Amino acid sequence: MTVDELLTIPPITQISDNVWRVDDLTIPKTWGQGRTAFGGISAGMLYSAVKQRITNDSVLRSFTTNFVGPLTLDMPFSIEVTLLRAGKNVSQFTAHAIQDGKSCVFSQACFGVARTSSVAVENTERHTMAAPTKAKFIPQIPKVTPKFLRYFDLSIDEGGIPFTRKKTSHYHGFMRFKDAPSQITDAHIITLIDAWPPTLLQMMKLPAPASTVSWNIEFIHPHKPVSPTDWFAYQAHTRQAADGYGHTEATIWDKDNEVIAISRQTVAIFD
């Protein structure tokens, strides 16, 4: 199943004044990451459900996701969307993936309209990486390489393949969809950003479980239109790691070397 098909959520049904719900969604095994669904696709699906409730020209400003428990593949689950507050300028929603009565994924989305302001600070952060001509990343290794990676092209500029005992704890490189979607939406960008493995996996000698506990993305607006075939630049650094947890920060650029998103994650590793 393509990313476009998964991110096209059926219309959600209103069940109370500020709650909507969509039932009987499934994620196929090809989008698996161990015993659960790939976090990027589940977060993208939750965002797609929330987006149906936006009726003005607000844009996504921040999106925070907690991966509470495994979202089992090929099993039905529901997404419940709740409006927390709709103000004149900013609206806040939550989205909750529930499977077999259990909480799996929980997101909060903040949308804001553009306003006239005398305050303007340009983001001038740039990268110096040369755009790749083809993917350069992890080979498909049974029971080691996550199945979902078949949907992405990743190209390492700095950093190592997971489980190779590297001393580095950062990734620099590029990413795009292997088969370009029909369009690039915020849901696609959310899904794409999570395609990179945690920065700490390259430091491990043997395969071991790792999972994102919490993930926050802040979207930078305005930015130029992006194309489905574009390479997006990515640089992620580990701020600190100890006691089985790591804290990382990443910056994402478009093809014009302009920042479009900032990502922060807390990752649990079980080495």
Mean pLDDT confidence for 114-143: 85
Q: Is there a contact between 125 and 259 (Cβ–Cβ < 8 Å)? A: yes
* Local structure of residue 217 (DSSP, 8 states): E
Model pLDDT for residues 29-84, shown as the tens digit of each residue? 999 988 899 999 999 999 999 999 998 889 999 999 999 999 999 999 999 999 99
pLDDT at 198: 93
Closest CA to 33 of 201, 197, 192: 197
Tokens 């992890």: give the residue. Answer: 138
Q: Is there a contact between 197 and 156 (Cβ–Cβ < 8 Å)? A: no
Which H helix or E strand runs over 261? strand 259-269
Chain CA centroid to CA 209, Å: 19
Residue boundaries of the structural domains of the chain = 3-115+129-269
pLDDT tier for residue 248 given thresholds of 50, 70 and 90: very high
Handedness of CA 95, 191, 58, 56 (dihedral sign): negative
| Superfamily in which the 3-115+129-269 domain is placed by CATH | Acyl-CoA thioesterase, double hotdog domain (2.40.160.210)
Q: Is there a contact between 137 and 150 (Cβ–Cβ < 8 Å)? A: no
pTM: 0.94
Q: In whole numbers, what is the pLDDT of the chain averaged over residues?
A: 93
